[in-house]
Amino acid sequence: MSECIFCKIRDGQVPAKPVHRDDVCLALEDINPQAPTHLLVIPLKHIPTVNDLTVDEREVVGHLYLTAAKLARQRGIADSGYRLVMNTHRDAGQTVFHIHLHVLGGRPMEWPPG
Ligand code: AMP
Ligand code: ZN
């Protein structure tokens, strides 16, 4: 059995607040939101980090972005703006090693990030 929390959520072994699911990805509310809207868009396929992506998975990554944009429109933050973040390894603060796109919006955000 997978030890990965996002694989467990995908398989219904851990409860979550899903807001979207299709045949490539799922999206859910972040358990520790950093903005009024903080969603995670997660591929169904277990891919640990961006460094592990293969050319065959490029459509998966595109799908994550298109889904994020759709959810941002649904949440009413598409025009005010939002930030899409995919952390990779320690210096970026990656804590879950199953790639995911953070969708952050609903408040102004600093740039550059800390
Ligand atoms: P990262 O630090 O980029 O790996 O982001 C991991 C994110 O997953 C964090 O924002 C966590 O708050 C979030 N997270 C961890 N466990 C859960 C969970 N069970 N349900 C929803 N979000 C989670
Ligand atoms: Zn996983």
Model confidence pLDDT, tens digit, residues 45-92: 999 999 999 999 999 999 999 999 999 999 999 999 999 999 999 999
| pLDDT at site 2 | 80
Q: How far is the CA of 88 from the centre of ligand 1 (A)?
A: 13
Domain that residue 94 falls in: 5-105
Choosing from 38, 98, 100, 102, which is the catalytic residue? 100
Question: Does residue 49 contact residue 32 with C-beta atoms inside 8 Å?
Answer: no
Q: Does residue 38 surpass a pLDDT of 70?
A: yes
Residue tagged 């005010």 (tokens): 80
| pLDDT band (50, 70, 90) for residue 114 | confident
| pLDDT at site 1 | 63
Based on the residue annotation, tell me whether 100 is a catalytic residue of this protein: yes
Would 112 be classed as within a structural domain?
no
Would 111 be classed as within a structural domain?
no
Model confidence pLDDT, tens digit, residues 9-18: 999 999 998 9
Handedness of CA 11, 88, 79, 30 (dihedral sign): positive
Would 113 be classed as within a structural domain?
no
